[in-house]
Amino acid sequence: MSELAIRMSEVSKKYPYFTLDNIHLDVPQGQIMGLIGPNGAGKSTTIRILMGLVHPDRGEVRVLGQRMPQNQVAAKWDIGFASEDMRLYDSMTVGWHMHFIQSIYSNWDAAYAGLLLKRFGLPAMQKVKGLSHGQRVKAALLLILARRPKLLVLDEPTTGLDPVARHEILRELTGVMADEGRTILFSSHHTQDVEQISDQITFIDRGRIIDSMDKEQYLDRWRRLRLEVPNGIELPSLPGVIEVKRSGRLAVAIANAFVADLPNAYETSGARVHAVESMTLEEIFVANVEHSREEVEA
């Protein structure tokens, strides 16, 4: 088995209006973990806890083998962290920042930094205050990528970016994976990005982890069945089916634990299966959040 780059167990944190509840999260080394969930679900809080920026009320956090927050100084040499509220100095240039980081981190790769500057189309001599949002995000990412950290922790790295900039960033992140000793954890609203580059997926909603597993296995469990149901036939409730919507003779069933027998079971009940479709992560995201909220309220 591969080593774990991140291990959070039984982590809880209570705020007046929000509780992160019993979070268990394992991220294997050499993989990309995508963290998804609605606004306010607890993605950023989870990231802050694992970076040692927020102290949990309970639970244990280990990052690259170091206990957090106790050993965060040692761990952070090998972690590259970027979040929205991380600021660059407005009156300084991108080049100044590059020199600054280089003077602190001995593993700074100047050749790679130069390459990234070109690939991201960043003007080295321009002051940060003159940069666009996309350029700032890319500059911040350059500063951590060029250190070649063992672990990248990125809170919403592609939010607010145009499609070209997003694509540039996804390319660099998948490029990091050429080295199987490196690991990435990132959060995103862009389900498309998560679906494309993640090896593992973790779903968070309302402070709880709903699902956390291998992406291929996860996508494979979900299917949408398009059915034709003759008048007078009642659709049976079948295991693994979380939602059925019917209108006239047409019905759509969504399964979150699909098995090859499921279409046959509908056929046996008198319905006709027109199609069995795989679902995008975006479609699963919406269905899953709605379903888990119904379960909580029920």
Partner 1 sequence: MTGDGAFAISQSDKRPMYLQIMEHMKQRVAVGDWAEGQAIPSIRQMAVDLQVSVITVKRAYLELEREGVIVTQQGKGSRVASTPGLGGRLREQELEQHLEQATRIAAMLGMRPKELEHRLREAGDRIAGEPVAEKGTI
The answer to whether 171 contacts partner 1 (rule: CB under 8 A) is yes
Among the residue ranges 12-20, 106-114, 211-219, 255-263, the one whose residues contact partner 1 (CB under 8 A) = 211-219
The answer to whether 4 contacts partner 1 (rule: CB under 8 A) is no
Report the distance separating Cα 156 and Cα 81, nearest Å.
11
The answer to whether 192 contacts partner 1 (rule: CB under 8 A) is yes
The answer to whether 199 contacts partner 1 (rule: CB under 8 A) is yes
Q: Mapping DSSP to helix (H, G, I), strand (E, B) and coil, where does residue 134 land?
A: helix
Minimum CB–partner distance for residue 17 and partner 1 (Å): 35
User: For partner 1, how many residues bind (rule: CB under 8 A)?
Assistant: 24
Interface of this chain with partner 1, residues 31 to 90, rule: CB under 8 A: 31-32
The answer to whether 277 contacts partner 1 (rule: CB under 8 A) is yes
The answer to whether 252 contacts partner 1 (rule: CB under 8 A) is no
Q: Would you say 184 and 176 are in contact if contact means Cβ atoms under 8 Å apart?
A: yes
The answer to whether 115 contacts partner 1 (rule: CB under 8 A) is no
The answer to whether 202 contacts partner 1 (rule: CB under 8 A) is no
Residues 6+ apart with CB under 8 A from 210: 203, 204, 288, 289, 292
Please report, for residues 66, 124, 251, 252, 253, the alpha-carbon distance to residue 247 in angstroms, rounded to integers and kept in the order given: 55, 59, 6, 9, 12
Supply φ then ψ for residue 251, to 5 degrees: -140, 150
Residues 6+ apart with CB under 8 A from 256: 221, 222, 240, 242, 287, 288, 291
The answer to whether 278 contacts partner 1 (rule: CB under 8 A) is yes
Interface pick for partner 1 out of 175, 264, 268, 296 (rule CB under 8 A): 175
Q: Which residues pair with 30 in a beta bridge?
A: none
Q: At what angle do helices 94-104 and 133-145 cross, to 10 degrees?
A: 20
Taking the least distance from each CB to partner 1, the nearer of 164 and 296 is: 164
Would you tell me which residues interact with partner 1 (CB under 8 A)?
Answer: 30-32, 170-171, 174-175, 177-178, 180, 192, 195-200, 214-216, 219, 274, 277-278
